[in-house]
Amino acid sequence: MVPRENVVALMGSDVAARANYLYVASMDVDPDKEALFNEVYDTEHIPMLLKVPGVISIKRYVTVPLTVTIGGQARTIAAEGEPRYSAVYEIENPEVLTSEAWAAAVEAGRWPAEVRPYTHNRRLSLRKLV
């Protein structure tokens, strides 16, 4: 395992040094609400959450087909049941997720009324840097 101080040096910034946790929010959205989901996530939800103290960065991902070589053979991995969309939040500590600022941000804008009701297969996880 690479010592923590070397990982931080490789990351190359003081901001990266504060990102000790990853919060991952994955979900699907009803097909007829997908355009609205993407618009609101990118133009409202992320900008509001980036203002929360302790949130360092947010990146969004979409699941794509996976082929990987394991044991000398290329294998296709089926992602059955996995959510299509994921957002990865670099945060300073778990308390960020229960702060008043976080609570206000996740209830702001069009997200709670116009988007959240159409999301499903939600999976939330928290990972700590080792």
Q: Which CATH number do you get for residue 97?
A: 3.30.70.100
pLDDT of the residue at 5:
52
Query: How confident is the model at residue 82, as a pLDDT?
Result: 95
Least confident of 7-11, 21-25, 122-126: 7-11
Number of structural domains (the chain) is: 1
Q: What is the pTM of this model?
A: 0.85
With a CB cutoff of 8 Å and minimum separation 6, the contacts of 36 are 110, 114, 115
Distance, CA of 92 to CA of 16 (rounded, Å): 10
Kindly tell me if the per-residue pLDDT of 6 is higher than 80: no
Q: Which domain holds residue 34?
A: 4-128
Calculate what percentage of the chain has a pLDDT beyond 70: 87
